[in-house]
């Protein structure tokens, strides 16, 4: 992504959604997330948002660094 001049993606506009009677904020958010995942052909996963509060595993960084370094090697 860092070396591309553009990122091409599909965009879908979903109809507005409102909370249903008796639905709390968490239930509404889960329902909206499900609709987005279905429309985009994604797998809906439970996620608590903690990823941004944890350090990325060293192994994951090394894999990405290796992939990137192989793309920019000069001969």
pTM confidence score? 0.55
**1 or 72, which is more confident:** 72
Distance CA 52, CA 54 (A): 6
- Cβ burial, residue 33 (10 Å; 0-12/13-18/19+): middle
pLDDT tens, position by position, 9-67: 888 899 999 999 999 999 999 999 999 999 988 888 777 667 667 788 899 899 989 98
Closest CA relative to residue 44, chosen from 29, 23, 54? 29
């Amino acid at each position: 992504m860092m070396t591309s001049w553009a990122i091409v993606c599909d965009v879908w506009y979903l109809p507005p959604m409102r909370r249903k009677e008796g639905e709390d904020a968490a239930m509404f958010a889960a329902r909206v997330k499900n609709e987005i995942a279905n429309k985009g052909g994604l797998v809906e996963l439970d996620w608590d948002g903690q990823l941004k509060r944890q350090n990325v595993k060293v192994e994951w960084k090394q894999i990405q660094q290796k992939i990137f370094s192989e793309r920019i090697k000069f001969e």
